Structure 1
Amino acid sequence: MKNLIISCAFLLTFLGIQAQTATVTDSLTLPLRGLAIAAPQKSEVNRFIKFINEELAPRNINTLVLRVDYNYQYKSHPELAEENALSQNDVDAIVTACKEHHIQIIPQINLLGHQSWAGKIGKLLEVYPQFDETPDVKLPTDYKWPNKDGLYCKSYCPLHPEVHKIVFDLIDEITKAFHATAFHAGMDEVFYIGMPQCPRCAGRDKATLFAEEVWRIRNHLAQNGKRLWIWGDRLIDGKTTGIGMWEGSMNNTYRAIDMIPKDVMICDWHYDRPDPTAAYFAMHGLDVATCSWRKPIVAEKQLHMLEDYRKYATKEMRPHYKGMLHTSWTSAKNFLDMFYAKNSKEDNDATTFKALFKI
């Protein structure tokens, strides 16, 4: 595989030939102007709706990826609902506000990876421990990274014969609850996959395992006319590019980029540098959103790079560059606290969002 960064730089130069005939694009005309954030807790729903009405709408935000996970009162599997989770009435209120402002909601449940965090097991493996890809790895009381088990987050076993019945029930219910036409499955930072201690996955190719799981989820959604979104990091060669193990893959899942369906939407996140990997996904025929986080200078460079992609791209490539999806990795309450803090000069999720999407 050629060096990704060199290839993308070459692509920009090559596509520059089209500059004279390309249509100039600015941030307001991007097809996707989005925010990915945790779904609010029940006590924060009204405040969150006020934020939608008074802040998202004036900034022309048209996409809201909501990390719901188990913060919903599931009827298909009530055993998986968190305590004091969102009711359907809460969800309806959020949906109504978004519909009024033409904001598409895409609910997210972390699938495959991110089934634990630090010393806490996630709801799926808590209730169904038999789905654990690495049951021999016990969560420590005092979590530290790095550790001897290579534990970042646990994964479920994609080959367990019972896991998808439950996962698909949740997908169906949450997409219906939010009137969604798409679903975000997460699938980022998957370190545990094809592990030797798993009786089903041992010895299998990790890229194939990852791609097959993408296909399963995608095919289930497609039956109801819905689209799959995922994070893109597992599809980038972390070693060849120098991007590393977090924003890229060091366990060979990156080869799955040639195995997954072309209608999957890729959310390409880079938070410390504006790595030009959107071109990599577009060259593989995949739609891609560029994702920012908590550094305004990086987010603004990502936006300018995206505008150049769309300005200079060929007519075949341009439609794949969908826009910007800003991400927040704290609770909705914490994000709103940061957002409404007076005279805040600290670089964080909210100040970066404001810098990226100005009124």
Structure 2
Amino acid sequence: MRNFKRTALLLDMLFLFQSAYPQEIEKGDLPVRGFAIAAPQSADVNRFVAFMEEVLVPRGVNVLILRVDYNYAFKSHPELRNEVTLSEADVKKMVAVARKHGIQLVPQINLLGHQSWAGSLENLLKVYPEFDETPHVEIPTDYKWPNEDGLYCKSYCPLHPDVHAVVFDLVDEIVEVFETDAFHAGMDEVFYIADDKCPRCSGRDAAALFAGEVSKIRNHLYAQGKRLWIWGDRLIDGKTTGIGMWEASMNNTHRAIDMIPKDVVICDWHYERPDQTPVMFAMKGFDVMSCAWRTPEVGVQQVKDMYKWRATQTEAMKDRFQGVILTVWSGADGFIDGLENYLAAEDKAKEEQSQPWVTFVHMFDTIEKISTK
């Protein structure tokens, strides 16, 4: 691993956003300065631990969401493991660094939706096909979107009588090994729900089904003193807002926002525009974080908005605006490589700007500048 410390003197020059901060923005730390990425492969854990210490800690990251899914050597359900997985010892390396530096670890397993990807089923439905909400929809060899079946990702049936006994075993085990009081259930982009061919869900209200699944997972965690985090897109009305089917819901799950417990933490992702939906979540009583990806100007504006809302909202509201998260939708190794190359480049402006590592640098430079001005 290259030595990130060699580039420390360059970090102050990476902030390229030129506009001045509004007068209403006040200095101070955001409660959540987050980073979300796929958990590393076992062979890459040492490199990732060094990345945590040499990059995430100096940049002020205090929440690390790790998408684990089936990349762990589960003892409760070994049949659901990937072929190569993280061991308990691998996880404990990350836990030790996080504890040392005050980073909250939030492991993620995708629940409800994202039970397939493109032409492949994920492990849960491979092993337990009876949990499939839409068994009549076959996974094509040559996957394309859009398609006649409306297949983006498969879902498990939330009303199957046996599904929670399996997934809650995984949740309990991963929360225990990560020594954390928070769990991220994903639950984004759920397009298959209340399917009219499902013998259990047909004819039911999609919002009630979604809210029931969120509440069931939340209640399971709450009984153990732990807190549920989810992505927020299914709780936004995609038609009324004009946000559409990806970053919001067009299949009527949005009404679930008034049916779920208020202690569920909302990760509100918007990647093309800094949509102002965190205000809606805060007004509904939820703690919320804005999430960016690969568009630096969006991530920077989300940071500025969070500071503005925390400075200008009522006392009852302001602490619900918890902060920001940079999300990465590739492997950990790829992100580290991209960041190293970007930091080493002599002319940052000539580098491809639509990348998550560029957004990461801009967002956390913005946080530093606002919090110390």
Q: How high is the TM-score relative to the length of structure 1?
A: 0.92
Equivalent position SS for 2:143: coil
Report Cα offsets for 1:108-162 as digits up to 9, x if no partner: 0000000000001001001100000000101111111100000000000000000
Whichever residue aligns with residue 125 of structure 1, its letter is L
Whichever residue aligns with residue 25 of structure 1, its letter is E
User: Mean alpha-carbon deviation: is it higher for 268-277 or for 297-306?
Assistant: 297-306
The alpha-carbon deviation at position 163 of structure 1 amounts to 0.2
The alpha-carbon deviation at position 185 of structure 1 amounts to 0.2
1:256-275 matches, cutoff 5 A: 256-275=256-275
1:59-98 matches, cutoff 5 A: 59-98=59-98
- Corresponding residue for residue 38 of structure 1: 38
C-alpha distance in 2 between matches for 1:49 and 1:141: 37
- Corresponding residue for residue 320 of structure 1: 320
- Corresponding residue for residue 292 of structure 1: 292
C-alpha distance in 1 between matches for 2:176 and 2:301: 37
The alignment status of 1:356 with 2:341, answered yes or no, reads no
- Corresponding residue for residue 199 of structure 2: 199
Equivalent position SS for 1:74: coil
The alpha-carbon deviation at position 38 of structure 1 amounts to 0.3
The alpha-carbon deviation at position 336 of structure 1 amounts to 1.0
Whichever residue aligns with residue 178 of structure 1, its letter is F
Whichever residue aligns with residue 353 of structure 1, its letter is F
The alpha-carbon deviation at position 68 of structure 1 amounts to 0.3
Equivalent position SS for 2:315: coil
Q: CA RMSD in A?
A: 1.3
- Corresponding residue for residue 332 of structure 2: 332
Report Cα offsets for 1:136-193 as digits up to 9, x if no partner: 1011111111000000000000000000000110000000000011000000000000
1:221-240 matches, cutoff 5 A: 221-240=221-240
Equivalent position SS for 1:357: helix
Report Cα offsets for 1:256-297 as digits up to 9, x if no partner: 000000000000000000000000000100110010100111
- Structure 2: which 5+ residue stretches go unaligned? 1-21, 369-373
C-alpha distance in 2 between matches for 1:138 and 1:222: 36
C-alpha distance in 1 between matches for 2:301 and 2:224: 38
- Corresponding residue for residue 6 of structure 2: none
- Corresponding residue for residue 26 of structure 2: 25
C-alpha distance in 1 between matches for 2:60 and 2:119: 39
The alpha-carbon deviation at position 25 of structure 1 amounts to 3.4
Identity of aligned residues (%): 60
C-alpha distance in 1 between matches for 2:169 and 2:289: 27
The alpha-carbon deviation at position 303 of structure 1 amounts to 1.0
Whichever residue aligns with residue 53 of structure 1, its letter is E
The alpha-carbon deviation at position 304 of structure 1 amounts to 1.0
- Corresponding residue for residue 132 of structure 2: 132
- Corresponding residue for residue 123 of structure 1: 123
Q: Could you list the runs of 4 or more consecutive aligned residues of structure 1 that deviate by over 6 angstroms after TM superposition?
A: none
C-alpha distance in 2 between matches for 1:84 and 1:157: 27
- Corresponding residue for residue 172 of structure 2: 172
C-alpha distance in 2 between matches for 1:312 and 1:35: 26
- Corresponding residue for residue 246 of structure 1: 246
C-alpha distance in 2 between matches for 1:335 and 1:80: 27
Equivalent position SS for 1:228: strand
Report Cα offsets for 1:213-266 as digits up to 9, x if no partner: 001000000111000000000000000100000000000000000000000000
- Corresponding residue for residue 15 of structure 1: none
Report Cα offsets for 1:69-126 as digits up to 9, x if no partner: 0000000000001111000000000110111110000000000000000001001001
C-alpha distance in 2 between matches for 1:248 and 1:84: 34
The alignment status of 1:280 with 2:287, answered yes or no, reads no
Report Cα offsets for 1:11-67 as digits up to 9, x if no partner: xxxxxxxx99x8x534x6000000010000011101100100000110111000000
Whichever residue aligns with residue 358 of structure 2, its letter is T
Whichever residue aligns with residue 99 of structure 1, its letter is R
- Structure 1: which 5+ residue stretches go unaligned? 1-18
- Corresponding residue for residue 14 of structure 2: none
Equivalent position SS for 2:98: helix
Aligned length in residues: 338
Whichever residue aligns with residue 220 of structure 1, its letter is H
